[in-house]
Structure 1
């Protein structure tokens, strides 16, 4: 239990210490009018309170990623928890803060437009396509996962629940943000926090299970995977949403359009990521503890992390409590899937310069997205998840480089974004070069060397490009 509490404590310290440092580097302006007031339209730009925006942001970013990812990552042992802590503080929360605050500073624009402004038009066009594909994959993943759990709970057809969730997604995607998301999601966010704390307390007081039994300090630096899977770079792809996730860059602008003051940014964006990191730690610890270690976890999981969610929830909280816990896990992806489609609609609206105040125009963009999503639900879930993982981290890489470029252009401490951008670039390039199923299948050593060289090359080119030309920044003063 000591190790778990230490990890949670480090995340909280990270919020108050490093989060404050990141905020200072960015340089907030409490007197600057936010897009929620400057561009109020009653649909997507709607002022909301600090607490409400935080809970919505937490639900938007916390799909099945901070649950399924850490459960899969737990197969590597406590090293997964170490990455959650370090990745969350120095990469994920920084990524989320800049994706949100840069959107605030640029009229609530989505990540493709931000990438285009700070990295160039090529980055914008690439990100428009890439972000839309990622959001479609997210939407599909966050339909299949909850539909499968609902089918397991009720015994009814999974296809039935897929249809029901699709209908809900369409409604939530096109109605004003304060009608469903603004009213229900703060309650769901509170339920999520209650569920996570409840499972942790149940595990601590359990007479049958111990929290992280037999874990020693050396285990945090050791790969304990029972299937001899390499820790580098797979762990950093597997645990995405609990440490660093590009999907969050597509979600932060939603709340950037609703935030009332720039002073709320650290709590809303950096803080929500810290909250997600704690949720990820909880599920990683549950996975390692409930099944007695990585070998028991591999057996209990049987290839599907949903089995861990169901068994651990019902085993720790009983039938009724377990049902409520699983229901909370079901709510998570649903409340991220609808905002994924909403974000895709807004990205397309910016691309086609199509105002979204009128319902027919919202439907014109939303319906084709749902048709494509419906087609993708017919693809094997495992295949979709693998592509989602890589696309997710690649999006995070581009967002981190965008933030680094912004800081460089303003002569601010860019290393807080450049270092995590370089690390994640190495991860993604190495994974793609080494993977036999998604990439080139090259040897690990060659893949790693190339990945590191690419990261340094991008950083060097970015510094040379930005330092070598002057940029008009009056609109951001």
Structure 2
């Protein structure tokens, strides 16, 4: 790729104190990993395990190494080289203005779907209810808020709710210490861990119990604020605090699996369940690849890379550590999730929680399935109470979701600002104001989440997410072509993912959205198909022009070597 340790990065060159802020690599890695992980590497693998754990594990392993990590590293590197520009702006140089408008429009639609999915998931996680007998609780225990007077059901999201609130309130203080006062990362980490511990302890005694709609409203309002204020105030600093919980949770997850194996825990889940998976989700291809989503490859990561991360990197040598290894850590998390479900729940419990019958009064809740499996894995491996594992599973998942939400709304704000500059020669002043664009992004997110469940939008979210990854790899491939560098390692994954995702959009439209009469998702699907067709047409034409030596109508990209 041509990494140059002496080359000045956009964060150092611009350093405006709001978006471009040169930051220590461990802090940027923490922000980037917390932002990219989201709910995807947990919920996707859990839902895809209806095919059996074998196919899911295999795609995560192959996809994570050869597709996802390559995608994340190359997208981040290109964004840094292009002055911290988004992948849509890079597309403008290689595919022209028409390609830029289509890519940016596609990305805005995709981000709205991502945000709606994560918002819905977050509200579900914070209000999840489970039978107290399943987790070994009795009415005398105070760790959770009871959902009924008889003590038969318990709200397991109350402690995580309080933890989220406290971490958010302390985020500006952490940001002030390491950005404004230049306190060392080690000292800030120690303080961040203290905040995490205190947030959980307070949550034990003052669990928060709100209804899902109120949670969606409050989180939407928070993201409007977080997307407009300087990046260090909430986004970067909140991610830095929260990532310590994520690291601890991931460590516990791995240790629990390893200990369960040593102690002879039995495999409770089938390695091969493809026939039933086909009946519930659809054919193994493209169904499995789309359902796994972020655990193997994710276009959302390119948005994080080009939107916020590339504006914080201090040196090009940090790009590989942040981009490539960040994705490998996410795939490792996805593999751990699969291993936990194998040990923690059986197929009967799985279908009760993840794929309830049509006449069931319960909605699909893959979050709760993971949390229950996590609790039982820690119990079988380390002897910890099941309730403790469920609590930490909720903390882990909720931390990933909220950190992704505030990043994604900020990214959508950037994209709206870019779009107005293309549509209008002189955009109205109101459209240049970040509060307006943040509110527009959050409002569209809330509207879609309010009218759809997690199950309804997961498939189209996964499809759009993977399709954006394919488009990113195409854009990176053109960037490499103009630098006269090898492109096979980005072009092969791009072609495979384009075919897979377009096929899934057609299948979803014909077999699910039209029969359901879901107008919102029918429109979204058709819009995505139209934009995809337009982008593919431009890509083919641009490639033909490149091969035949026809000059580009846009400025040639700067050489990698100065």
Under TM normalisation by the shorter chain, which class is it? 0.7 to 0.9
Which residue of structure 1 aligns with residue 119 of structure 2?
143
Q: Once the 2 structures are TM-superposed, how far is the Cα of residue 455 of structure 1 from its aligned partner? A: 13
Aligned residue for 1:312, secondary structure, equals helix
Q: Is residue 306 of structure 1 aligned with residue 367 of structure 2?
A: yes
Deviation string, structure 1 residues 400-446 (Cα, Å, up to 9, x no partner)? 110111111222111001100111012112223334336899xxxxx
Bigger mean CA offset, 192-201 vs 263-272: 192-201
Aligned-partner Cα distance in 2 for 1:163–1:473: 43
Aligned residue runs from structure 1 range 327-476, under 5 A: 327-353=395-421, 361-381=433-453, 382-435=455-508, 436-437=510-511, 463-469=543-549, 472-474=556-558, 476=560
Deviation string, structure 1 residues 85-106 (Cα, Å, up to 9, x no partner)? 1111111111111211111011
Aligned residue runs from structure 1 range 212-227, under 5 A: 212=267, 223=274, 225=276
Q: Once the 2 structures are TM-superposed, how far is the Cα of residue 141 of structure 1 from its aligned partner? A: 1.5
Aligned-partner Cα distance in 2 for 1:300–1:159: 21
Q: Is residue 134 of structure 1 aligned with residue 102 of structure 2?
A: no
For the 8 Å contact 1:96–1:249, the answer to whether it is kept is: yes
Deviation string, structure 1 residues 113-162 (Cα, Å, up to 9, x no partner)? 11221222222111111111111221221111111111122353112211
Which residue of structure 2 aligns with residue 61 of structure 1?
36
Aligned-partner Cα distance in 1 for 2:539–2:514: 24
Aligned-partner Cα distance in 1 for 2:126–2:542: 47
Q: Is residue 267 of structure 1 aligned with residue 289 of structure 2?
A: no
CA 45–455 in structure 1, closer or farther in 2 if over 3 Å, else same: closer
Aligned residue for 1:241, secondary structure, equals helix
For the 8 Å contact 1:53–1:258, the answer to whether it is kept is: yes
Q: Once the 2 structures are TM-superposed, how far is the Cα of residue 296 of structure 1 from its aligned partner? A: 5.1
CA 214–172 in structure 1, closer or farther in 2 if over 3 Å, else same: closer
Deviation string, structure 1 residues 427-472 (Cα, Å, up to 9, x no partner)? 112223334336899xxxxxxxxxxxx9999987654332333563
Bigger mean CA offset, 369-378 vs 86-95: 369-378
CA 226–86 in structure 1, closer or farther in 2 if over 3 Å, else same: closer
Q: Once the 2 structures are TM-superposed, how far is the Cα of residue 265 of structure 1 from its aligned partner? A: 0.7
One of 309, 314, 318 as aligned partner of 1:255: 309
CA 39–434 in structure 1, closer or farther in 2 if over 3 Å, else same: same
CA 125–141 in structure 1, closer or farther in 2 if over 3 Å, else same: same
Aligned-partner Cα distance in 1 for 2:115–2:409: 6
Deviation string, structure 1 residues 35-74 (Cα, Å, up to 9, x no partner)? 1011111111000111111111111111111100011112
For the 8 Å contact 2:417–2:432, the answer to whether it is kept is: no
TM-score by structure 2 length? 0.71
Structure exhibiting the larger radius of gyration computed from Cα positions: 2
For the 8 Å contact 1:191–1:328, the answer to whether it is kept is: yes
For the 8 Å contact 1:422–1:456, the answer to whether it is kept is: no
Aligned-partner Cα distance in 2 for 1:455–1:213: 45
RMSD, aligned α-carbons: 2.9
CA 460–122 in structure 1, closer or farther in 2 if over 3 Å, else same: closer
Aligned-partner Cα distance in 1 for 2:496–2:459: 20
For the 8 Å contact 1:251–1:340, the answer to whether it is kept is: yes
Q: Which runs of 5+ in 1 are unaligned?
A: 1-25, 442-453
Which residue of structure 1 aligns with residue 265 of structure 2?
210
Aligned-partner Cα distance in 2 for 1:462–1:91: 24
Aligned-partner Cα distance in 2 for 1:343–1:276: 20
For the 8 Å contact 2:245–2:395, the answer to whether it is kept is: no
Q: Once the 2 structures are TM-superposed, how far is the Cα of residue 227 of structure 1 from its aligned partner? A: 5.5
Q: Is residue 124 of structure 1 aligned with residue 100 of structure 2?
A: yes
Q: Once the 2 structures are TM-superposed, how far is the Cα of residue 316 of structure 1 from its aligned partner? A: 3.6
Which residue of structure 2 aligns with residue 198 of structure 1?
252
Which residue of structure 2 aligns with residue 23 of structure 1?
none
Aligned-partner Cα distance in 2 for 1:417–1:438: 32
Aligned-partner Cα distance in 2 for 1:423–1:275: 23
Q: Which runs of 5+ in 2 are unaligned?
A: 129-156, 159-208, 357-363, 379-385, 516-533
Count of aligned residue pairs for this structure pair = 433
Aligned residue for 1:116, secondary structure, equals helix
Q: Is residue 104 of structure 1 aligned with residue 104 of structure 2?
A: no
For the 8 Å contact 2:76–2:310, the answer to whether it is kept is: yes
Which residue of structure 2 aligns with residue 32 of structure 1?
7
For the 8 Å contact 2:46–2:366, the answer to whether it is kept is: yes
Q: Once the 2 structures are TM-superposed, how far is the Cα of residue 178 of structure 1 from its aligned partner? A: 1.3
Which residue of structure 1 aligns with residue 527 of structure 2?
none
Deviation string, structure 1 residues 174-223 (Cα, Å, up to 9, x no partner)? 1111122222312322211211221232233349983756988xx6xx83
TM-score by structure 1 length? 0.83
Aligned-partner Cα distance in 2 for 1:37–1:196: 32
For the 8 Å contact 2:41–2:292, the answer to whether it is kept is: yes
